[in-house]
Amino acid sequence: MSQDTLFKRQFGHRARLALSPAGVLKTDEQAHAARTVWNLLHAWWQMMPKGKRTLANADAAIRQAHEDIDFLAVLPAQAAQAVLKTYFQAWKNCWDGRADAPNFKSRIRTVMSVDVPQGRDLNIVRVHRRWGMVNIPKVGRVRFRWTKDLPVGKRANAENRITGARLVKDALGWHIAFRVQTLEAKPEPHQGPDVGIDVGIKVPIALSDGETYEHVEWLTDKEKAKLLHLEQRAARRQRHRKPGERISRRLHHTYDQIAGLRAKAKRRTLDWQHQTTTAIARTYGTVVVEALTVTNMVKSAKGTVEEPGRDVAQKSGLNRSISGEAWGRTVIMLTYRTARHGGILHKVPAPNTSRRCSACGFITPGSRESQAVFVCKNPDCGWSGSADWNAARNVLHLYRMGLALIPAVGRAVVRRVKRVKPATAR
């Protein structure tokens, strides 16, 4: 196989670690030390003049902090260097307009994580079908769930290898996210049909060919009742806490139980999204979605003191439903999955896709008789059908009119935005 038909693929794979209580304690200490190094770097950055904010000076400051602060010794030197590089990269992202300026990391709100920048330090071995072993610096050999074939042992080489990993802690415990690099064959252009996608709440994903993808509630009735009970208990204990008083162990335990149930719901959400986006990428060659700005859609309706908002509670419930569906993450998954299968993903303008009739192209008031049904009020048309299907057909039609907004991903070319009047008939 020639080099022209190969491409380098980089992706991540996350697995759950089976740490002992002593291992959990050691990893927690490393994560707190990494957060402290970040905060020390930020304080150093603010004190130093602009001319002395160099990588070499920051490295010297970290080495001095290791000598002065005893508990930083639990953090491996390479992990501290990874914090340094991440901090400088955060400032570059800020200067390029891709992110906000870096700030201090608090103990409560920061995700606990430790970086292992070099893959050779991991020494990964597969024990049997379900488990593997990985070496974590200053922690030791730890088992992890083997759910994906990794390029280790004889299968590892310069092109196919694990380049590093990151340890991340959530409500369900510590996980390891491997950074994998492989050399794979370029996918052939996907010959599947085009499809438009409309995302929603009642129907999470509706396709222009009439297919829909739905899911059940992420938590069972018993789990939802338990979550409500725990939230009420936490609110009751928080109400009786005096100002300035430390949070009790019981309240901490209640918060941990709440976080565990929410993490379980998120894992089920991710599993459904992975399976659904994979099925769509395998079936369709061109996938078209709306260019939604979800952050604007979930803004609060409280307003100001001078101009208070209306229907604040209803808007808050809608915001929770939108955030629970994670539309942005679905689009991200579709983007890289369609590219891997030789397909392409496009975005089109979102305004009026749910209000325009997909049969005649007119926008008439009152066409949305309900949340689920669309009935065209144009006397010459009168088309009726599912509102989600109608929106998905409009999304696909905008793409066929040449209204793709962004550069294509994969095999297609950049399309310019054209101002074209809607077709009067389809």
Q: One-letter amino acid identity for 78?
A: Q
Half-sphere exposure of 140 (CA within 13 A, CB side): 9
Look at residues 148, 145, 147, 157 and name the one whose alpha carbon lies nearest to residue 182: 157
* β-pair partners for 363: 356
Q: Are residues 212 and 72 located together in one domain of the fold?
A: no
Q: Are residues 280 and 389 located together in one domain of the fold?
A: yes
For residue range 324-334, list pLDDT tens digits in order: 888 889 999 99
Q: Are residues 425 and 384 located together in one domain of the fold?
A: yes
pLDDT score of 4: 63
Pairing of strands 286-290, 344-348: parallel
Does 316 map to a domain? yes
Q: Are residues 152 and 95 located together in one domain of the fold?
A: no
Does 343 map to a domain? yes
Q: Are residues 154 and 289 located together in one domain of the fold?
A: no
Coil, helix or strand at residue 415: coil
Interacting residues of 311 by C-beta distance below 8 A, sequence separation 6+: 301
Q: Are residues 279 and 333 located together in one domain of the fold?
A: yes
Which of 185, 208, 226 corresponds to the end of one domain? 185
Q: Are residues 124 and 267 located together in one domain of the fold?
A: no
Overall domain count for the chain: 3
Residue 294's domain comprises: 188-216+254-426
pLDDT score of 307: 67
What angle (nearest 5°) sits at the alpha carbon of residue 346, between those of residues 340 and 347?
Answer: 135
pLDDT score of 378: 80
Does 223 map to a domain? no
Q: One-letter amino acid identity for 129?
A: R
Q: Are residues 353 and 405 located together in one domain of the fold?
A: yes
Q: Are residues 294 and 405 located together in one domain of the fold?
A: yes
Q: Are residues 39 and 9 located together in one domain of the fold?
A: no
Pairwise CA distance, residues 386 & 253, whole Å: 46
Q: Are residues 155 and 263 located together in one domain of the fold?
A: no
What angle (nearest 5°) sits at the alpha carbon of residue 337, between those of residues 336 and 338?
Answer: 95
Which of 143, 166, 185 corresponds to the end of one domain? 185
Look at residues 264, 2, 247 and name the one whose alpha carbon lies nearest to residue 107: 247
pLDDT score of 411: 36
Pairwise CA distance, residues 88 & 48, whole Å: 14
Which parts of the chain have pLDDT scores under 70?
1-4, 303-307, 311, 369, 406-426
Look at residues 35, 75, 82, 76 and name the one whose alpha carbon lies nearest to residue 58: 82
Q: Which two three-digit tokens encode residue 217?
A: 């509630």
